[in-house]
Amino acid sequence: MTTTVAPTSAASAPPGKSAGKSGRPKAAKLFRMLPLSPAIGLMLVFLAGPIIYCLYAAFTNMALTGTGAANVKFVGLDNFRKAFGSGAFTNAIWLTLVFTLISAIIGQNTLGLGLSLLMRRSTKVVRNFVGTAVIGAWVLPEVVAAYLLSAFFNDEGTLNVMLHAVGLPGQDWLYAAPIIAVSLANIWRGTAFSMLVYSAALSEVPKEIEESAEMDGASGYRRLLFVTLPMISRAVMTNLMLITLQTLSVFGLIYAMTRGGPGTKSQTLPLYMYEQAFSFSQIGYGTAIALVMLAIGAVFSLIYLRGLNSEAA
């Protein structure tokens, strides 16, 4: 599911150039729209179409088998009532929030920022080496990454071997702490994105400002907190928004590593939705959960967008 909400550029366009004042005949304007029509048509069919269908299905009892397959009926808010009354659903919401908080907002975000700050000060060799390693994890296809990481976290996997080597007890990570394991996996995989965004943003920060802060006696920590971070705050917000939305909808990584299990211990919303819709055949209920996910994504986006706008003001 893609729920990327781009900040609208129309709002920032200069008012003088807005349409409708030029006095051209309408036909000419329509004619100018003509080349766009195939693109608009495609968007309507392939982007708006499924979304509208999803909106419809969420309020029905649509299913792959049984009564819901023969005659699809409107059931009003039943699917949502069922969801919010169900322990499995609340468990999934909770796990989704934990997963997003640990792996995106804390893990990828701070690690990405940290790496890009360190890389700014390091030599070219180190920079290239670290950059290649981190981006390598990001370039790997999701299923390959998931496979590597399940080998890493496995009972007899690399992590436990390393822990045993230094005399620490290991555990079956994928079984005992699956949500931690998949969160770490997602950090491993997604940090590169944050690192790239922050590297780009930091390269725009003029050296002079930091130097003058240094002259004024600001320590490294204070320079970061009061000079560097405020200057890249827009990048922080944009990055947070993007990685939050990406992480909310992570499916393949978790499915390939744990299938949401054991039990429901790593069953985030996308996995719960998949199970209900495609393993248990409840398409209507599954799409209702998809809508809830959309809503959660929208709430996060709104928060970040507000953050962006207040920075801009």
Partner 1 sequence: MTRKRFKAAAAMSALLLLAVSACSQGSTTKQPEAGSSQSAGPAHIKIAYQQWGPGVVMKNFLTGVKAEYESANPGSTVEILPIVASENDYYTKLQLMMRSPNTAPDVVYEDTFLINSDITAGYLRPLDDYIKNWDQWGQFEDTAKGAAKALDGKTYGIPDGTDTRALWYNKQLFAKAGLPADWQPKSWDDVLSAARTIKEKVPGVIPMNVYSGKPMGEASAMQGFEMLLYGTKDTLYNNDQQKWVVGSQGFKDALNFVKTVYSEGLGPSPKQALDPNMGSKVGTELLPGGKLAIALDGSWIYGNWQKTGAKPWPQWTDVLGQTAMPTQDGSGKGKVSLSGGWTWAIPAKSKNPDAAWNLIKTLQTQKNAAKYATDGAQIAVRKDVANDAGYKSSSKSTQFFTDLVSVTVYRPAYAEYPKVSNEIITAMEAVMTGQSSPDDAAKTYDEAVEGIVGKDKTTQGQ
| Interacting residue ranges for partner 1, rule: CB under 8 A | 63-70, 82, 86-88, 155, 172, 174-175, 259, 261-265, 275, 278-282
The least CB distance from residue 277 to partner 1, in Å, is 9
| Nearest Cα to Cα of residue 102 among 23, 191, 204 | 191
- DSSP calls for 223-289: HIIIIIHHHTHHHHHHHHHHHHHHHHT--HHHHHHHTT-STTTT--HHHHHHIIIIIS--HHHHHHH
Q: Which is nearer to partner 1, 93 or 115 (CB)?
A: 93
Closest distance between partner 1 and the C-beta of residue 63, in Å?
8
With respect to partner 1, which residue has the nearer C-beta, 174 or 235? 174
Beta carbon of residue 300, minimum distance to partner 1 (angstroms, whole number): 28
Name the residue nearer to partner 1 (CB basis): 237 or 256.
Answer: 256
Measured distance CA(303)–CA(126) in Å, rounded? 37
Decide whether 60 or 238 has the Cβ nearer to partner 1.
60
The least CB distance from residue 29 to partner 1, in Å, is 42
Rounded to whole angstroms, the Cα distance separating 52 from 55 reads 5
- Which of 56, 280 has the CB closer to partner 1? 280
Query: What long-range pairs does 56-60 form, CB within 8 A, spacing at least 24?
Result: 57/283, 57/284, 57/287, 58/284, 58/287, 58/288, 58/290, 58/291, 59/284, 59/288, 60/284
Q: Which is nearer to partner 1, 62 or 119 (CB)?
A: 62
Q: In angstroms, give the least distance from the CB of 149 to partner 1.
A: 16
User: To the nearest whole angstrom, how small is the minimum distance from the Cβ of residue 174 to partner 1?
Assistant: 8
Distance CA 252, CA 152 (A): 17
How far is residue 216's CA from residue 213's CA, in Å, rounded to a whole number? Answer: 5
